[in-house]
Amino acid sequence: MTTAIYPGSFDPITNGHVSILRGGLVAFDRLVVAVLQNPKKSPLFTVDERIEMLKEAVGNDPRVEIDTFEGLLVDYAKRKNARVVLRGLRAVADFEYELQLANMNRHLNEEVETVFIMAKDAYFYVSSNLVKEAAKLGGDVSKLVPPGVNERLLKKLGTPT
């Protein structure tokens, strides 16, 4: 049974994330969606809120575990008995950053491989930051995020519905 770790901040989860997650379930037997607690970022949603949104988006799929971690991803992967890290790619700019991460992870633990999956075309440009910015300015992002996330964004941002 192959387990992959799908790490990210998921602040908030987007349909692009869901697309990558679904692609990961085609390639791997089990996915651990790991919410990173990154002290360098100032998230809009708490870790608990992000986990709740992820659970709503994934449903009761027994192949998916939602978890949280801090520290080195390769250490977390080892604790989870996973040798694969799943990452999503959107644009060329993503590739350079993701390649740096993958190479650092390989340097830290040669047994961990990174696999890249592209989101569906419709979500290729979508990022959590872009979704938050558009929502903050009153844009309709309801087609870019799972059901329920849009309402949470509007409530959190104090934007009228």
Q: Which position has the higher pLDDT, 73 or 97? A: 73
Q: Which position has the higher pLDDT, 160 or 134? A: 134
| Domain boundaries along the sequence of the chain | 3-122
| pLDDT surpasses 90 at 16 | yes
41 part of the active site: yes
Q: Which of 83, 90, 106, 136 is catalytic?
A: 90
142 part of the active site: no
pLDDT of residue 124: 83
CB atoms near residue 29 (< 10 Å): 10
| pLDDT surpasses 60 at 161 | no
Q: What percent of the chain has pLDDT over 90?
A: 78
User: DSSP class of residue 125?
Assistant: T
Q: Backbone dihedral region of 16: left (phi > 0), alpha (psi from -120 to 50 degrees) or beta? A: alpha
> What is the third-level CATH fold of 3-122?
Rossmann fold (3.40.50)
DSSP string, 40-102: T---SS-HHHHHHHHHHHH-S-TTEEEEEE-S-HHHHHHHTT--EEEEEE-SHHHHHHHHHHH
pLDDT of residue 39: 73
Q: Which of 9, 128, 132, 152 is catalytic?
A: 128
17 part of the active site: yes
For residue 89, what pLDDT band results from cuts at 50, 70 and 90? confident
pLDDT of residue 53: 97
9 part of the active site: no
Residue 44, Cα to own-chain centre: how many angstroms? 15
| pLDDT surpasses 70 at 160 | no
30 - beta bridge partners? 3
Q: Which of 9, 17, 50, 152 is catalytic?
A: 17
Question: Per residue in 122-135, pLDDT tens?
Answer: 888 899 999 999 99
What's the pTM value of the predicted model, to 2 decimals?
A: 0.93
